[in-house]
Structure 1
């Protein structure tokens, strides 16, 4: 296992594991689930390259790597569902960087692992940066870590069909309020159905957690992505003319409700990207990550790019 200062995902080719360079060869390797589980915890992220995976041969591979595929319920980013709990990666414009984050770290429960599949690599750029969560935590100034010690409060304003951001129907993959409430009830969140048909949700979450196997503490929150400062000064100022901060599609404060200084979330965002390692895609590649130990993002790109993602508990 590489040290924190030199960590990078483990790249696995067919010849590394005495497998055929085919989907069947990769399935044979993944069928030893205990070995794969141990390898993933030790290495944190695995890149499978040279197995010739296509969208048509992907499902049986996902069945082994992700034994209980999850729906992207309560997700806060735009995606398209393309298969059995298989989604496009976040559909933000190609020119933007997606900052580092752990999937659904703002939610009551989150997936234990993710698998990305590169169906089509970008013409230029488009890497998926991954970051060791312990290294990200260590990169932050002590006063920033101390300020976040009690956790954060996430707030969502989900419209009922028309408005900024995602609707509650898209977010929870249902148009029934009772199903949304059944989902939220055990999470500790508070919610309010508003007269305009929108849904407001608040939930307290930790800023760091410890891995259930290794015990290592990692940075584990999405405060920088939920804070207006992440939008840039011009966009944040323009939005402020339209909506107060607590009416934005998503917003975050410290756990006690006090504002998070913009410079804190900018530091979190920038240092996560600084200590990240790029996974430069080739068509047919797969990336399996431990979603607690490793955060991920996306670099800007040109040309067409299609990366699919699935997750499991």
Structure 2
């Protein structure tokens, strides 16, 4: 039996699981064992000296059925992209959670930890949903949220190119190839703009049933960043903005329920991207080097 610890103790019980030291070698972990842990834990931190880029890549590929990506980042392996979002704090969000290309899992590998600050933040959407007041919960039960955003031709074609493992020449990529990658065509539209750019409109619940836990979690990108992209327009499905008092409540509740992951060299963090939002404190040590991968099960 593998030794598992809670990473953080916060309101509501277990949030994360920790494999530490000699608990386990990454190569020994079975896919179903990892996914079973995510049924109860929103994220898993593997703290072991045997983690490196080849093992990180191999683990992502072993657990995942399909790799996703951020087209604005550079690749450093078949799956890994360097996290490069400036030095300012990054708000809580789900990776690609403001788009119809929302992956199940978000992976992070720390090659070089910061000497101070620069922590990754995590916030369990199940706890947030339980802590929100009746007015907010009723509003988000009645209304989905809608993200609208312009994306450049190079960015959306890069997304298709890498999603198809480079097997389709960029010159042959069309909007039909992009639409084929959407998680659910009934919740999103993609329209062409001048110059080859597109505008997508994506409708999704603010609180949704987690992919692994089966419980409702307030997991979205309402508070999230727009580094490398145009800022999306975020509204309720009625077209109205989210009321300022509700946004203030979300900020207050998530602030109380947010924990920090203080990185060590060789750490591997796996997040249930359908339940747990994450962000980042301000970068203090710019030598910090972390890689990210996104995937579906």
TMscore range, shorter length: 0.7 to 0.9
Cα distance in 2 between the residues matched to 1:280 and 1:9: 14
Question: Which residue of structure 2 lines up, in the alignment, with residue 289 of structure 1?
Answer: 271
| CA distance in structure 2 between the partners assigned to 1:115 and 1:63 by the alignment | 11
The aligned counterpart of 2:40 is 42
> CA offsets per residue over residues 241-295 of structure 1, 9 Å max, x none?
xxxxxxx641111011112234433432443233111111001011122222322
Please, what is the CA RMSD of the aligned residues?
A: 2.8
The 3 A distance-change label for structure 1 pair 251 and 170 is farther
Instruction: Tell me the CA shift for residue 93 of structure 1.
Output: 1.7
Query: C-alpha deviations, 1:94-126, integer Å up to 9, x for none?
Result: 1x2111122233334532222211011112111
Q: Does the CA contact (< 8 Å) of 2:148 and 2:233 recur in 1?
A: yes
**1:147-189 residue CA offsets vs partner (Å, 9 max, x unmatched):** 222211110112346xxxxx43345445633323444595232
Counterpart Cα distance in 2 of 1:300 and 1:146: 34
Q: How does 1:1-313 map to 2 (within 5 A)?
A: 4-15=11-22, 17=23, 19=24, 25-28=25-28, 30=29, 32-64=30-62, 66-72=63-69, 75=70, 78-89=72-83, 91-94=84-87, 96-108=88-100, 110-149=102-141, 150-160=143-153, 167-170=155-158, 172-173=160-161, 176-178=173-175, 179-184=177-182, 187-188=185-186, 189-225=188-224, 249-303=231-285, 304-313=287-296
Question: What's the offset of the Cα at 1:211?
Answer: 2.5
Structure-2 change in CA distance of 1:171 and 1:155 (3 Å): farther
Query: What is the DSSP-based 3-state SS (H/G/I as helix, E as strand, rest coil) of the residue aligned with 1:43?
Result: coil
Q: 3-state DSSP class of the match of 2:48? A: coil
In structure 2, C-alpha distance between the alignment counterparts of 1:196 and 1:152, rounded to whole Å = 28
In the TM superposition, residue 69 of structure 1 has moved relative to its aligned partner by 4.2
Specify the SS of the correspondent of 2:126. helix
Instruction: State the shift of 1:134 in Å.
Output: 0.9
- Taking the aligned partners of 2:279 and 2:136, their CA distance within structure 1 comes to 22
Q: Contact between 1:194 and 1:200, CA under 8 Å: does it hold in 2?
A: yes
Note if contact 1:99-1:273 (Cα within 8 Å) is conserved in structure 2: no
Partner Cα separation in structure 2 for residue 147 and residue 37 of structure 1? 32
Partners of 1:299 and 1:153 in 2: CA distance:
27
**Matched positions, count:** 274
Matched-pair contact (CA < 8 Å) for 2:93–2:223: no
Deviates more, 1:41-50 or 1:189-198: 189-198
Q: TM-score, normalised by structure 2?
A: 0.80
**Conserved 8 A contact 2:179-2:185:** no
Q: Secondary structure at the match of 1:271?
A: helix
Say which SS state the counterpart of residue 223 (structure 2) adopts.
helix
Quote the residue 2:165 is aligned against. Answer: none
Unaligned runs of 5+ in 2: 1-5, 162-169
